[in-house]
A and B are shown apart, each in its own frame.
Chain A
Amino acid sequence: MSQYVLRRLMIAIPSLLGISVVLFVVLALAPGDPFSELATNPNVPPEVQAALRARFGLDDPIYLRYLHWLNAMMHGDWGFSFVSRMNVDTLILQRLPTTLYVIGSSQILALLVAIPVGVYAATKPYSIFDRIANTLAFVGFSLPTFFTGILFILIFSVTLDWLPFVYTTDIKATGIHYVLEMIRQAIMPVAVLGLFQAASMTRFVRSAMLDVIRLDYVTTARAKGLGQAKVIVKHVMRNAMIPVVTLIALQLPAVFGGAIVTEQIFRIPGIGSLLISSILSNDTPVVMAVAFVFACLVVLFNLVADVLYGWLDPRISLR
């Protein structure tokens, strides 16, 4: 097992290097310029712009800039934002807790909805419950989050006036009120993201369960006189979870991406909105860093998925 994990890790490092090269080159070649806003400002003479470019090394050749970046990265220096003139890691760390809170909660919500619903629907295929669950799931993943987000705002904030739709990081309250307020403002974004995730996951869990539930060993288990619950939980679910784990693990980085839209709608100061605003202002060091973090997440979750396979089905790690 440990050898298997080690092997996987060895593959991850060159992948990350490769990804960083591609990201860097694409960003360097992309149009736009971090100082464009200065360029349209008649108050800023071109010399100042030129001086800034030179100071920030923007006029060096790409390979030099890449090597410089890589070297700095190795030393834990993520560079600094041209726009905020502050360190990129500070900027990202400032936003990480919010992202983790919102995304984490939405993932938990998704799992809490998808697994029971999917499993129950699979045990009684084509029942009324199954049909309703299927239809709702279909509707759920057909509606994009920007649509449901605005719909939720219109219903719960504008019409009913129950929930705030601007997410704020500086809640004045303390103690229990603070916790309640944090939960209250996260309800809508978490619901929007979580239900969207839950919809596709439900269908996936259901079909994975159905695949397994008909296998001979399940029939054998039943024939031995095991109770329905025990059969489902101990025998069916464990095997059915392999593809589900793949889906969840590989989808997590994509959720960070999907959250960009949700973050914009609810003004959640997460990593996604940082990425968007940095792209809009051509703040390349931040874009590079955030994109690289996303890339690391993809690699990391692939690794996690691999390890989980090994645990769920020991045959996999032996190969």
Chain B
Amino acid sequence: MLDKELRSMIGDVKDGRMDRRAFVKRLAAVGLTAPMANQILSIGGVAMAQSPSPYPPTKRGGGGPLKLLWWQGPTLLNPHFATGTKDQDGSRLFYEPLASWDVDGHLNPILAAEIPSIKNGGLSADAKTVTWKLKPGVKWHDGKPVTADDLVFNWEYASDPATACVSISTYSGLTVEKVDDLTVRITFKEPTPFWANAFVGAYGCILPKHLFADYKGAKSREAPNNLKPVGTGPYKFVEFKPGDLVRGEINPDYHMANRPFFDSVEMKGGGDAVSAARAVIQTGEYDFAWNMQVEDEVLLRLEKGGKGKTLYAVGGDIEFIAINFTDPNIEVDGERSSMKTKHPSLSDPAVRQALALLVDRDSVKKAIYGRAGRTTANYLNGPDDFVSKNTKWEFNVDKAIALLDKAGWKPGADGIREKDGKKLKFVYQTSINGPRQKTQAIVKQAFQKAGIDVELKSVVASVFFSSDVANPDTYSKFYTDIEEFQIPMTQPDPALHMRRYHSRNVATKENKWQGQNFPRWVNKEFDAAVDAADTETDPVKRAALYIKCNDLMWQDTVVIPVMHRLAVEAASNTLRPALSGWANQTDNIQDWYREG
């Protein structure tokens, strides 16, 4: 889309000639997501409207209990220590951020009086400050008022490395100051186009200063309220058994009218996904189950005549095969896959392209993911469908063979292609997980057809995803030729997602393999684009930069995207949950209700 055209469209929305939805739709048509379109509007000077709430209940409570089933129970209830979504989801029943991403990818005010915009003076034109106004009259569950001091304290608490919060990087590059009792100003060191990060979403949950002030820094673990949350949320804390159960009861003083609908909430953990699906869809013992990593066939069978159904939320999670640009079989200075080496065959672009041609996404979707996945050529599939239109994937064995022939990789006596004595023999690793092993099998078949030999390797997930420096089988050490896993997108902005592949983030012995660029791909153009996007305040140019990043990864075949994965949840037929691919599943729990 032309820069000029977009600008005139923003003008149209500003002057009321075009409706917001139409604007978002038109942007989606060219590959921009709803959250991105909305951010564009807000920076362009249009206030970010919430989507009209479809919430019909006209009084608080009366909805009976809400029974949720997670297949891992929350293990702690401090959102800033959360070691996984289960903890964030459990904490979120009690704690709230200033705003969260709703179903349509709009920023929805929770504790904020309104969403900052240029129009209401909340955003500065240089994208360096954000001013948030708190909704007046909001009280903590213990009756104390929520004030700007709480926000400032949360920033101090989370940005202190000694507190060891997982949310530290959300809060460390900025300063928060109190303007008045209900207003804070966030100042960024640099222009920050994605300003809606601190105090928004899972890491944005706000702790009460009066209960945590004594437990900042090294004493953070001792806070009694780590296990007994006192927040502002729709439910008040009742009981917590780590790994098993969290229970809350309705907050009669909740700050949103007519909410929440349910009288109590219970989140039970444990078991496996199939039986969770069964408890919700088939027997109706529970109202909602999280993350149905179950084969679609099974879900379809359960849904027949059942009491529930599956729901899908579109985010940006991507399952992909990564290619190793370095040689995993040679040790240099005590390090395999060292940056001082080059992969004997995968450094040839023709080989990488051939591999990409041999991954049959359609079969993988049909046989494994079903409704839970979308085939894609892009690494960056979001926020929402932040899809580059310049790429295309193809499954074509003949084309792959032709490509390899042309590049000089000819079949040897054993049928395996080789060139200059180097054979196309790869080790393909992934974590132990049903769908992944099936994908391996599908891919292996096609590789063999083209004369490429593959040895499949599967590693226990707890080892594969660990940061254990002593273990050679982790995904970040990448001591094999190719590997497959999923990278979830944790926020509706591509910055974190794309920055991984910057050349300064290469995983090496020096940084104890903490770098996230495990393909060890170095591309100056990519680095420049990612760096530029970090401070680019013009939303249009910024979007173009990320599309460019994605396209560079596609051209160089750094990773082979296999499946754009959707979040799959199970809900009873009468439950109306508010799910967003951009938020945790309990992020909009105040809007959940039951029909009929």
Contacts and interface: CB of A to CB of B under 8 A. Distances in A.
Contact of B468 (A36, A165, A170, A265): A36
A85 B467 contact: no
A36 B467 contact: yes
Given A42-B496, A43-B203, A269 B164 contact: no
Interface residues of A, number: 54
A43 B490 CA distance: 9
B167 A43 contact: yes
Interface string A7-43: 0000000000000000000000001110111111111
A44 B269 CA distance: 25
Contacts of B476: 39
A38 B83 CA distance: 7
Interface in B57-76: 65, 69, 72-73, 75-76
Contacts of A47: 161
Contact of A264 (B162, B271, B465): B271
A188 B484 CA distance: 40
Given A37-B84, A43-B166, A166 B516 contact: no
A166 B271 contact: yes
A231 B278 CA distance: 53
B241 A39 contact: no
Contacts of B269: 267
Given A32-B468, A36-B462, A42-B490, A80 B241 contact: no
Interface in A40-79: 40-49, 51-52, 55
A211 interface: no
A277 interface: yes
A40 B242 contact: no
Interface in A160-185: 161, 164-166, 168-170, 172
Given A157-B283, A170-B266, A39 B465 contact: yes
A47 B160 CA distance: 12
A267 B268 contact: yes
Contacts of B283: 157-158, 161, 165
A271 to B, nearest CB: 11
A264 B275 CA distance: 10
A165 B285 contact: yes
Contacts of A282: 462, 466
A41 B283 CA distance: 36
B340 interface: no
Interface in B454-474: 462-463, 465-468, 470-471, 473
Contacts of A84: 75-76, 227, 242-243
A102 interface: no
Contact of B270 (A161, A170, A267): A267
B295 interface: no
Interface string A248-276: 00000000000000001111110001100
Q: Which 6 A-B pairs have the closest CB atoms?
A: A39-B467, A269-B244, A36-B466, A267-B270, A33-B468, A84-B242
20 contacts: A31-B462, A35-B467, A36-B466, A38-B166, A39-B514, A43-B167, A43-B496, A44-B166, A45-B168, A49-B514, A51-B161, A51-B162, A51-B164, A85-B81, A86-B76, A86-B226, A94-B241, A281-B83, A281-B462, A282-B462
Given A32-B471, A84-B242, A158-B282, 15 more contacts: A42-B499, A46-B512, A47-B161, A48-B161, A49-B467, A51-B161, A86-B227, A157-B285, A158-B278, A165-B275, A169-B244, A265-B271, A265-B275, A269-B270, A277-B270
